[in-house]
């Protein structure tokens, strides 16, 4: 008899706890933006799956990776899982200044995004990685599209807005040609590899590419705060962007200010989420090398790496 009673009261307690959980986070969908590089898409789905595991509703929307900060500030999107310092600090800071979006903490990862070349390139331009070698060797990077000048193959236009400013500000004898997609970048590197053709392009770390193609970033004058906004900072006194991107950049999470009140449990989980360089490189690899769909990659990663995400959920009871 007493056993039954205890069991029943246990059930009653569970039911109440369940109700509290339902009341805690709004049932409105948490809007998770996805962009045009693989780790971000996979990580966003991993985070979305973590939220669904506690009963939250999530919705994924494809958005421009710069405009997303304005969208979050206005509450049209809820979170950003990958704020890369090199590409997005300026847009993130601008939105934060207006209000409505905040820094929700750092990943463990350290990032770099900059001009990069695969190892064989150095054979025909031994002065690399020093940026000054670029102008000595610009002719080896020429393509029919760029004539006498070298080609810098940039990423999709929404990633880095200032490659052209750097070319102008540092007098680089190069033409910036933007790739339409990340996969177009990798196709160009793979094609160049077959003939050991020199190539300089936009790349980043953590990424799957470092495991496939040994290579190096070009060493521009080191990044300094305000190099992007204050002409007196950097190599030349009267231009901006006359420096490299941060060599040990942050990777942050960002959130809409209203998130912590509307979805407190999800917000707690967001704060606990932190991934490392190897984990992020692996997320990219599952899509870019193993050719999995991002949703499948997220599920496979979670299955293999339970210890790397479950504690972040369990530390956030309803």
Nearer to ligand TMO, 83 or 266 (CB): 83
Task: Give least dist CB 184 to ligand TMO, A.
Answer: 13
- Binding to ligand TMO (CB under 6 A): which residues in 182-211? 204
| Minimum distance from residue 84 beta carbon to ligand TMO (Å) | 5
Task: Kindly tell me which residue out of 47, 69, 84, 141 binds ligand TMO, with binding defined by CB under 6 A.
Answer: 84
CA distances from 59 to 76, 149, 268, 295 (A): 11, 45, 18, 13
Coil, helix or strand for 279? helix
Considering the rule CB under 6 A, would residue 37 count as an interface residue with ligand TMO? Answer: yes
Least distance in Å: CB of 282 to ligand TMO? 15
- The 250-279 contact track toward ligand TMO, x by CB under 6 A, reads ------------------------------
Among 25, 70, 85, 113, binds ligand TMO (CB under 6 A): 113
Rounded Cα distance, 216 and 2, in Å = 71
Buried b (16+ CB within 10 A) or exposed e, 176-209: bebbeebeebbebbeebeeeebbbbbbbbbbbbb
Of 225, 312, 290, give the one whose Cα is nearest residue 42.
290
Report the nearest approach of ligand TMO to the CB of residue 86 (Å): 7
Torsion angle of C-alpha atoms 9, 14, 18, 21, degrees rounded to 10: 110
Give the separation between CA 306 and CA 262, rounded to whole angstroms: 27
Find the shortest distance in angstroms from Cβ 158 to ligand TMO.
Answer: 9
Query: For helices 277-288 and 38-52, what crossing angle results, to 10°?
Result: 100
Residues 144-163 that bind ligand TMO (CB under 6 A): 155, 159
- Tell whether residue 87 is a contact of ligand TMO (CB under 6 A): yes
With binding defined as CB under 6 A, does residue 116 bind ligand TMO?
no
Nearer to ligand TMO among residue 118 and residue 156 (C-beta): 156
How far, in whole angstroms, is CA 36 from its chain's centroid? 9
For residue 214, the tally of other CB atoms under 10 A from its CB is 10
Kindly tell me which of 87 and 287 has the beta carbon lying closer to ligand TMO.
87
Instruction: Kindly list the residues in this chain that would bind ligand TMO in the complex (CB under 6 A).
Output: 37, 84, 87, 113, 155, 159, 204
């Amino acid at each position: 008899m007493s056993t039954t009673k205890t069991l029943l009261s246990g059930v009653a307690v569970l039911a109440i706890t369940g109700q509290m959980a339902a009341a805690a986070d709004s049932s409105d969908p948490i809007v998770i933006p996805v962009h045009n590089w693989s780790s971000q898409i996979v990580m966003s789905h991993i985070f979305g799956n973590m939220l669904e595991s506690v009963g939250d509703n999530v919705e994924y929307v494809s958005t421009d990776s710069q405009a997303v900060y304005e969208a979050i500030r206005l509450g049209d999107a809820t979170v950003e899982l990958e704020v890369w310092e090199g590409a997005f600090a300026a847009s993130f800071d601008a939105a934060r200044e207006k209000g409505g979006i905040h820094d929700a903490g750092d990943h463990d990862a350290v990032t770099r995004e900059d001009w990069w070349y695969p190892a064989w390139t150095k054979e025909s331009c031994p002065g690399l990685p020093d940026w000054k070698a670029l102008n000595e060797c610009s002719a080896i990077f020429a393509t029919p599209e760029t004539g006498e000048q070298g080609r810098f193959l940039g990423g999709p236009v929404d990633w880095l807005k200032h490659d052209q400013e750097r070319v102008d500000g540092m007098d680089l004898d190069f033409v910036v040609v933007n790739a339409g997609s990340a996969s177009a970048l990798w196709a160009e590197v793979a094609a160049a590899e077959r003939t050991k053709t020199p190539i300089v392009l936009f790349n980043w770390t953590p990424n799957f590419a470092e495991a496939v193609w040994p290579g190096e970033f070009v060493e521009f004058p080191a990044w300094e705060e305000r190099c992007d906004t204050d002409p007196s900072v950097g190599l030349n006194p009267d231009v901006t962007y006359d420096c490299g991107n941060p060599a040990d950049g942050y990777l942050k999470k960002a959130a809409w200010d209203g998130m912590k009140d509307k979805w407190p449990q999800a917000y707690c989980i967001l704060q606990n989420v932190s991934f490392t360089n190897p984990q992020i490189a692996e997320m990219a690899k599952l899509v870019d090398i193993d050719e999995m769909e991002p949703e499948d990659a997220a599920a496979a990663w979670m299955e293999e790496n339970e210890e790397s995400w479950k504690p972040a959920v369990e530390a956030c009871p309803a």
